[in-house]
């Protein structure tokens, strides 16, 4: 998610890019097939195609440098075996399967197998501690979990509170990794199954994925994503990847130029759903992103769309290292990437002139999660010869705003003629992607004048009045939260993002801040209530509030204001103890880097916590410190 404030003096249009934003919108049409399945769209059809079955789907590089390559045929065979194993374990259609897995081939295998069964995949971060895992497993009533051996200890610690979790499949590790009751070894389970499996048929609107997203009040909410949501992602994905080496032809198949002035008939272009063919996959494309496949960014913005178009995706494990990132992109001839702004900043500092050291083949970079900023924007242009395409979206309605600076013909070596895109402006979230309808609205749900701040919202219907397939189905077991997301009838109204921005005369959005208290740290979405609830469970804590503290390096840090229990003294030892308390129960990126002890938290007259007061205090302190510096 791009986060930045409008800065008119700093606006820099990307070179002399031609602006065909309106033409692309006018020419695009949705046509979502009534039957659609992610497993078939992302693997099954490629595995059956003689010209595609041996193409490499996944390249996996382990921390020790070992490389594994998996073809589409091999991916499908493994998915068939796993689907049979899951059926043997009693998994039924619609049931939830937790996936606590990193970027590895088995993660893709698991997603394909689960969709073949009509079940629901629930990806969970490897960084989650026992408490975070337990809540999500309980709330979703997951019956089965597939977990990497590196995360199995936390899952075991959470399992006593999850009696419905009948089976755990352990991936990797030593021969005895799956040693506890109800645990199965992945390799052993798949070896005894057939490589043939008859997949079920799913409707485009059937549930496919359950992703938990943090909020400011109450526990995390599970966003239920339908099968068709991947189709809704594709226009944004293709545009942000500068056409993805010809993939744009599957969304605009009948034209090389959508403008009626160039001979294209308005309304003639159709998104044909799962239509890519082997003949359209001739261009060599390799996608890599350090984004965790357990989150929307890694799953829906990298892994699944790459497989949908029959291309190759690279997966890696281990902590992000900027020099290793360059080496990996060189080694695997990566052409397209999604890199968080924090990653780009680290790469800029580690290798200011990367093309002097590395033979890179990059044709497009998308960035999201926070503001790229002018310095990184300019560095990517100068050092990599690309214009970074910023993107904005959220789990519930992903990939809705962004840029297409290189056009659909691509940059830096993409072959063939394509459609022009639109110029990126440094600091802007971008413009609405084709197939979607965006507005900035007020509290009453009415559009505000251009230049006026308001809530960024997506309409259920696109500019042609057709239903947009990108929408989530609702929050899991939380109908009231689902209703509050919309301004009216969910079938024909605006869906609020909760992000405040203004829209300029050209349709570019300029981020101003969160409408609620959720914030981003190093690309991770932080919900303060989960951290606060964890802190309050410590006997030394009477109350707590979590807010972002501005940080020049990371954009923000997690800071906690803590009211101590009676008789407790706040000191450095307690700060460390509270940090470890959170870190061991939630995720490492959620623990407060700074803790300040105070006598009382700011409250409204009705007893509601006013995080905004503390957030503004942190912002003022940061401004004062910058002024003194």
> Above 70 in pLDDT, residue 314?
yes
The percentage of residues in the chain with a pLDDT greater than 90, rounded to a whole number, is 68
Cα 176 to Cα 149: distance, rounded to the nearest angstrom? 10
Cα 473 to Cα 400: distance, rounded to the nearest angstrom? 17
Beta sheet of 312-316, edge-to-edge order: 67-71, 56-61, 312-316, 286-288, 336-338, 364-367, 389-392, 401-402, 431-432
Give the pLDDT of residue 49. Answer: 97
Q: Which of 257 and 353 is assigned the larger pLDDT?
A: 353
Give the pLDDT of residue 426. Answer: 84
Give the pLDDT of residue 141. Answer: 97
> Above 70 in pLDDT, residue 395?
yes
Instruction: Compute the radius of gyration of the chain from its Cα atoms.
Output: 24
Cα 470 to Cα 366: distance, rounded to the nearest angstrom? 19
pLDDT in tens, 35-68: 999 999 999 999 999 999 999 999 999 988 999 9
**With helix as H, strand as E and coil as C, how does 145-173 read?**
EEEEHHHHHHHHHHHHHCCCCCEEEEECC
Give the pLDDT of residue 5. Answer: 33
Same domain, 288 and 192: no
Alpha helices by DSSP H, listed for 89-194, are: 105-116, 130-140, 152-158, 186-191
Cα 461 to Cα 474: distance, rounded to the nearest angstrom? 17
Same domain, 473 and 545: no
Same domain, 451 and 581: no
Give the pLDDT of residue 291. Answer: 92
> Above 50 in pLDDT, residue 606?
no
Same domain, 17 and 72: no
Range of the domain at 570: 527-628
Q: Which of 541 and 8 is assigned the larger pLDDT?
A: 541
| Average of per-residue pLDDT across 118-136 | 95
Report whether 462 contacts 469 (CB < 8 A). no
Same domain, 147 and 292: no
> Above 90 in pLDDT, residue 241?
yes
Q: Name the helix (H) or strand (E) containing 45.
A: helix 45-48
CA 598 to centroid of chain Cα atoms: 36
Same domain, 22 and 118: no
Give the pLDDT of residue 45. Answer: 97
Instruction: Record the pTM.
Output: 0.83
pLDDT in tens, 275-312: 555 444 556 899 999 999 999 999 999 999 999 999 99
pLDDT in tens, 449-496: 999 989 999 999 999 999 999 999 999 999 999 999 999 999 999 999
> Above 70 in pLDDT, residue 588?
yes
Same domain, 29 and 52: no
Give the pLDDT of residue 413. Answer: 41
Out of 202, 219, 252, a domain closes at 202
Give the domain CATH number at 139: 3.40.50.12780
Q: How many domains does the chain have?
A: 3
Report whether 127 contacts 94 (CB < 8 A). no
Residue 211 lies in a domain: no
pLDDT in tens, 402-453: 999 998 876 544 434 567 899 999 888 999 999 999 999 999 999 999 999 8
Residue 208 lies in a domain: no
Give the pLDDT of residue 175. Answer: 61
Residue 608 pLDDT level (bands cut at 50, 70, 90): low
Tell me the average pLDDT of the chain: 88
| Average of per-residue pLDDT across 198-204 | 96
Report whether 390 contacts 364 (CB < 8 A). no
Residue 218 lies in a domain: no
pLDDT in tens, 101-117: 999 999 999 999 999 99
Same domain, 436 and 364: yes
Residue 586 token pair:
């939630």
> Above 60 in pLDDT, residue 1?
no
3-state secondary structure of 619: helix
Beta sheet of 541-551, edge-to-edge order: 541-551, 555-564, 594-597
Out of 169, 202, 235, a domain closes at 202
> Above 70 in pLDDT, residue 337?
yes
Cα–Cα distances in angstroms (integers) from residue 433 to residues 250, 436, 504, in the given order:
16, 6, 16
Residue 274 pLDDT level (bands cut at 50, 70, 90): very low
Same domain, 312 and 446: yes
Count Cβ atoms below 10 Å from residue 552 Cβ, excluding itself: 7
Residue 101 lies in a domain: yes
Give the pLDDT of residue 261. Answer: 29
Residue 1 lies in a domain: no
Give the pLDDT of residue 174. Answer: 76
Residue 539 lies in a domain: yes
Same domain, 45 and 26: no
Out of 510, 541, 557, a domain closes at 510
Residue 251 token pair:
């969304």
Number of H helices, E strands in the chain: 18, 26
Residue 13 pLDDT level (bands cut at 50, 70, 90): very low
Residue 611 pLDDT level (bands cut at 50, 70, 90): confident
Residue 467 lies in a domain: yes
pLDDT in tens, 367-392: 987 778 778 899 999 999 999 999 99
Q: Which of 213 and 121 is assigned the larger pLDDT?
A: 121
526 phi, psi to nearest 5 deg: -110, 120
Residue 519 lies in a domain: no
Give the domain CATH number at 551: 3.30.300.30
β 364-367/389-392 pair status? parallel
Same domain, 109 and 233: no
Same domain, 13 and 68: no
């Amino acid at each position: 998610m791009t986060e930045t404030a409008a800065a008119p003096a700093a606006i820099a249009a990307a070179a002399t890019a031609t602006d065909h934003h309106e033409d692309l919108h006018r020419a695009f049409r949705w046509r979502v097939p009534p039957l659609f399945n992610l497993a078939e769209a992302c693997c099954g059809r490629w595995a059956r195609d003689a010209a595609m079955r041996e193409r490499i789907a996944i390249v996996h590089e382990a921390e020790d440098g070992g490389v594994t390559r998996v073809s589409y045929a091999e991916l499908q065979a493994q998915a068939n075996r796993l689907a049979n194993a899951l059926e043997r374990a009693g998994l039924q259609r619609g049931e939830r399967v937790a996936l606590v897995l990193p970027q590895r081939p088995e993660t893709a295998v698991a997603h394909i197998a689960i969709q073949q069964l009509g079940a629901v995949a629930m990806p969970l971060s490897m960084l989650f501690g026992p408490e975070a895992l337990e809540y999500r497993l309980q709330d979703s009533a997951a019956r089965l979990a597939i977990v990497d051996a590196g995360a199995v200890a936390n899952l075991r610690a959470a399992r006593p509170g999850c009696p419905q979790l009948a089976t755990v499949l352990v991936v990797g590790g030593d021969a005895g990794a799956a040693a506890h009751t109800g645990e199965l070894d992945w390799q052993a389970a798949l070896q005894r199954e057939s490589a043939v499996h008859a997949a079920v048929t799913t409707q485009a609107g059937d549930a496919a994925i359950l992703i938990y997203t943090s909020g400011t009040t109450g526990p995390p909410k599970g966003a239920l994503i339908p099968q068709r949501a991947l189709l809704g992602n594709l226009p944004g994905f293709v545009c942000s990847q500068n056409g993805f080496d010809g993939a744009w032809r599957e969304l605009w198949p009948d034209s090389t130029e959508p403008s009626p002035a160039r001979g294209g008939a308005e309304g003639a272009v159709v998104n044909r759903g799962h239509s890519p063919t082997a003949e359209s996959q001739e261009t060599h494309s390799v996608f890599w992103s350090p984004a965790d496949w357990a989150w929307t960014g890694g799953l829906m913005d990298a892994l699944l769309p790459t497989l949908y178009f029959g291309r190759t995706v690279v997966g890696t494990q281990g902590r992000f290292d900027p020099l290793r990132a360059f080496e990996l992109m060189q080694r695997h001839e990566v052409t397209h990437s999604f890199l968080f702004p924090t990653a780009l900043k680290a790469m800029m500092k580690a290798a200011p002139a990367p093309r002097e050291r590395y033979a890179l083949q990059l044709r497009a970079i998308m960035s999201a999660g926070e503001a790229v900023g002018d310095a990184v924007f300019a560095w990517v242009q100068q050092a990599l010869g690309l214009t970074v395409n910023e993107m904005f979206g959220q789990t519930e309605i992903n990939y809705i705003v962004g840029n297409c600076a290189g056009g659909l013909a691509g940059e830096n070596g993409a072959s063939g003629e394509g459609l022009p895109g639109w110029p990126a402006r440094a600091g802007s979230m971008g413009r609405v992607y084709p197939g979607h309808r965006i507005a900035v609205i007020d509290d009453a749900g009415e559009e505000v004048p251009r230049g006026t701040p308001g809530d960024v919202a997506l309409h259920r219907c696109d500019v042609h009045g057709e239903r947009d397939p990108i929408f989530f189905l609702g929050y899991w077991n939380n109908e009231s939260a689902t209703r509050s997301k919309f301004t009216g009838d969910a079938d024909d109204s605006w869906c609020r993002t909760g992000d405040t921005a203004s829209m300029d005369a050209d349709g570019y959005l300029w981020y101003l801040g969160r409408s609620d208290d959720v914030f981003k740290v190093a690309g991770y979405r932080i919900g303060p209530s989960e951290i606060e609830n964890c802190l309050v469970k410590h006997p030394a804590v009477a109350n707590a509030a979590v807010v972002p503290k501005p940080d020049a390096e990371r954009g923000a840090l997690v800071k906690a204001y803590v009211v101590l229990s009676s008789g407790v003294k706040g000191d450095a030892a307690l700060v460390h103890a509270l940090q470890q308390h959170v870190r061991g129960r939630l995720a490492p990126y959620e623990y407060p880097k700074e803790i300040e002890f105070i006598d009382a938290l700011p409250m409204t007259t009705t007893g509601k916590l006013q995080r905004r007061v503390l957030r503004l205090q942190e912002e003022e302190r940061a401004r004062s410190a910058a002024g003194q510096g």
